[in-house]
Amino acid sequence: MTTLLSFLFVLGVLIFVHEFGHYAVAKRLGVRVLTFSLGFGPKLLNVRRGDTDYCVSAIPLGGYVKMAGENPDDSRTGSPDEFLSKTKWQRFQILIAGPAMNLLLAVVVMAIVLMQGVEVPAYEDQPPDVAAVLPDSPASKVGIRPGDRILKVAEEDVLTWTAFNMSIGTRANRDVSLLVQREGQTIAMTVRPTPETPYEIGSIGVLPDARPFIRAVNPGDPADRAGLKIGDEILSVDGVRILLPRQLSEAISSKVDREVDLVVRRDSQELNIVVTPEKRGDRGLIGIAIGQETRAFQPGPFEAISLSVTRNIELTVQIFKTVGGFFSGETSPRQLMGPIAIAQLSGESAQAGFVSLFGLMALISLNLGILNLLPIPILDGGHIAIIALEGITRRDFSVQVKEKMLLAGFVLLMMLMVTVVYNDLTRIAWIERLMPWRN
């Protein structure tokens, strides 16, 4: 139920904001709005005010604003309150208002999230210096070593771990060129990231040093009895170096009722401590909370807006690179997500708290705004492109030409919808098992 409600909330807000943009500008320019609908299909709720029907429809995967004289094949009287009676500049304003509202919403919501305070792993803003290479990983197979610094991915500079992860993450199962710095020399390599998680995020198996440490110790639990203390930095478990909190959790949980040799750093000294995880549920625990070195800040309103604008610009650049990657073959279509995946992410984010849910809403709103600006007939960007072409050629296209353009856009959009829904279904384990070609 949480997943459904959070999904409807996120989608409802995004659709309302988008359609309200079209509606508000149309009304301001004197266009008669016939219908303002959240959703498609049969109308569940309908209220008429003046010339406009305000309704909620059965299929909540979109919405629309129907304006008088909007399409060439509509019955038209030539009245000045019809959409096609307006100038190209006025029609452009109405069309772009929806995507613009989504972009504005992304900035505002992300600023609100930032104002709540942000705490992120410190390593994310540091250069991608390799602290460890996982065995049998793509990185180990091409000879990447601990101590290497990754300078470029696919000919693009990667100055931080965040930039590196975003660049590698979109290129699963694709050959990617790397430029690595080692002992003052630069080495060119080609690596093929492996897909991880249901969303096939690319990874080459290199790890940063996140410096996991003990944030809390439960009194009377194995860690407390063994002498572990708050602030101890975990260096290794049974001789295996530990760099990330999840590594420590995985190493301990798999060793129920077996002695584990920990090496910790305490006050600049390295200590060997033996602890025996106890079974709790289906895993071994020693009674500690794990932390990592983080960077925290809580910006004021103006700083939050500035940071939000900067972050949204960075994400926009990344989105366009990803879209370009679909056409060039660098990015796998498997990374596309549809309504089912968005619903799952909404539920997970809602369980993590409203800050996480609002962060997801900002990201989806940005993607929705950019998607609608793409020059694909049937989308807002497609209609804008047609207006632009008519302006350049100084003549209006015939109804037949526009119908063919819209049909091509509809076919392309349906192909995209089929792809994302298929991707979503293959991420559900029991459904994927029913697909013999996936096994």
CB 104 within 8 A of CB 366: no
* Burial profile 110-121: b = 16 or more Cβ within 10 angstroms, e = fewer: bbbbbbeebeeb
**What is the distance between the terminal CA atoms of the chain, rounded to a whole angstrom?**
31
Here the tokens at position 435 are 């697909």
CA gap 262, 273 in Å, rounded: 5
- Count other C-beta atoms under 10 Å from residue 26's C-beta: 26
CB 36 within 8 A of CB 19: yes
CA gap 213, 78 in Å, rounded: 72
Choosing from 19, 70, 82, 200, the catalytic residue is 19
- Count other C-beta atoms under 10 Å from residue 138's C-beta: 21
Q: 304 φ, ψ to 5°? A: -65, -40
Secondary structure element (H or E) that encloses residue 274, with its range = strand 269-275
List, in sequence order, the alpha helices (H) in 170-232.
222-226
274 burial class (0-12, 13-18, 19+ CB within 10 angstroms)?
Answer: exposed
User: How many alpha carbons lie under 13 Å from residue 312 in its C-beta half-sphere?
Assistant: 29
Q: Which residues contact 358 (CB under 8 A, 6 or more apart)?
A: 109, 112, 113
Q: DSSP for 315-372?
A: HHHHHHHHHHHHHHTSS-GGG---HHHHHHHHHHHHHH-HHHHHHHHHHHHHHHHHHH
SS (H, E, C) 74-118: CCCCCCCCCHHHCCHHHHHHHHHHHHHHHHHHHHHHHHHHHHCCE
Pairing of strands 240-241, 283-285: unpaired
Here the tokens at position 44 are 């569940």
Q: Which of 414, 413, 412, 438 is nearest to 425 (CA)?
A: 438
- Check if 19 is active-site: yes
Catalytic center residues:
19
